[in-house]
């Protein structure tokens, strides 16, 4: 709802204040990564790394990491 209302900062604060156990936390971390990818790719990368640790079999996390690497010109790593 906050994102639809264009309140990205409030959405980020809400997502940062909540944490779930294990793989259930991956969607929160992926959303945080996507919200921060334009302004702070390093922070987005860190969120995706954390999500990958919590759920290493999640294909979405691997896809987002590859896209982030491609966006910064690291195609061979992607």
Residues of the chain with pLDDT under 50: none
pLDDT of residue 46: 92
pLDDT of residue 9: 78
DSSP states of 12-43 as a string? HHHHHH---SGGGGHHHHHHHHHHHTTT-HHH
Predicted TM-score (pTM) of the model is: 0.73
pLDDT of residue 49: 92
Q: What is the mean pLDDT of the chain?
A: 83
pLDDT of residue 77: 79
The Cα–Cα gap between 74 and 22 comes to 29
């Amino acid at each position: 709802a906050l994102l639809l209302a264009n309140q990205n900062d409030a959405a980020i604060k809400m997502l940062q204040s909540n944490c779930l156990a294990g793989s259930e936390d991956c969607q929160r971390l992926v959303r945080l990564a996507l919200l921060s990818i334009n302004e702070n790719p390093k922070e987005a990368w860190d969120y995706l790394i954390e999500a990958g640790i919590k759920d290493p079999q999640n294909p979405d996390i691997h896809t987002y990491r590859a896209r982030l690497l491609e966006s910064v010109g690291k195609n061979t790593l992607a």
